[in-house]
Amino acid sequence: MSIVILLLPALAWGLLPLAVTKLGGQPLNQIFGTAVGTALASLILLLFQRPQLNLQTALLAALAGGFWIIGQLGQYQGYQKIGVSKTMPISTGLQLAGTALIGVILFGEWPTPTAKIIGALGILILIIGVILTAVRSTNAKNKQQGQRQTIIMLVLTTFGYLIYNTIPRALSSSGLNIFLPESIGMLLTVLIYTLITRQPKILAEKASWANVIGGLIFSVAAITYILSVRLHGVNTAFIISQLSVVISTLGGIALLGEHKARLEVITTLSGLCLIVFGAIITTIF
């Protein structure tokens, strides 16, 4: 059972992009369904564990959930524009590099000069991996321009993920305790975004509710990751969870039929290897 919990986060996070793409709908349908599914999972979890929170912690956790929506919406838009097999390694690499830098700047990680040098090398490897996965074999100007705009969008929305990951580290309570307020923050943010963009019709669309499955998959990943950290430690749990990018990227090619020329396959696989290797280096050191 311990091994199952260790592997489930990678499997579920790897399947999430494939599931929401197959379920269909626009990015707003997908993010609404994901938020609703996560909220449902948090209510089910409430039957087994009562969170011990003060108001300030609950509000900050809800804020973190809101920023997660920004990052996830960026990913969903990326799936639609350049595909899962392009979006996931780029987004994951950016998150890993950003999280490592925040750990150093805000939380004093890599305290020794040696750790800083090795960590910086790990970030460089991550960046090279991201660049490799973004290589295209075509010189079509419109495709190149479209990908460039999407990558810029992913860079900007990644800040949502970084804030989502940073807030819990600064709280006295974390893990399963803050899962409920985070999910409430996710749902409220989606509803506010829906009202601001004047798209309330998505609330009644079939695709929105079909994507609740995506939220349940995300919840399985998030909950089992927290349990995996308790059983195996942060480093082991985190490194294994990053195999999700391999599952989603290869799944995008094999299951979603995302076409890649030979050069793109080679550079994508090479980039994936560097991203996983960079994740190991920045985590262990």
Per-residue pLDDT of 178-197, as tens digits, reads 999 999 999 999 999 999 99
Q: Is 198 exposed, middle or buried (0-12, 13-18, 19+ CB in 10 A)?
A: exposed
Q: Residue 164's pLDDT is what?
A: 94
Confidence of residue 139 (pLDDT cuts 50, 70, 90): low
141, pLDDT greater than 60: no
- Residue boundaries of the structural domains of the chain: 2-284
Confidence of residue 173 (pLDDT cuts 50, 70, 90): low
CA atoms within 13 A on the CB side of 206: 2
Rounded mean pLDDT of 240-267?
90
Q: Is 266 exposed, middle or buried (0-12, 13-18, 19+ CB in 10 A)?
A: middle
Confidence of residue 138 (pLDDT cuts 50, 70, 90): low
Q: Residue 143's pLDDT is what?
A: 63
Measured CA to CA in angstroms, residue 142 lies from 36, 146, 147 at distances of 36, 6, 9
Rounded mean pLDDT of 16-35?
97
Confidence of residue 31 (pLDDT cuts 50, 70, 90): very high
Token readout for 181 is 């307020």
Write the DSSP assignment of 231-285 as a string of letters. HH-HHHHHHHHTTHHHHHHHHHHHTS-----HHHHHHHHHHHHHHHHHHHHHHH-
Query: How long is the chain?
Result: 285
In percent, the amount of the chain with pLDDT more than 70 equals 96
Q: Residue 25's pLDDT is what?
A: 96
Confidence of residue 76 (pLDDT cuts 50, 70, 90): very high
Confidence of residue 142 (pLDDT cuts 50, 70, 90): low
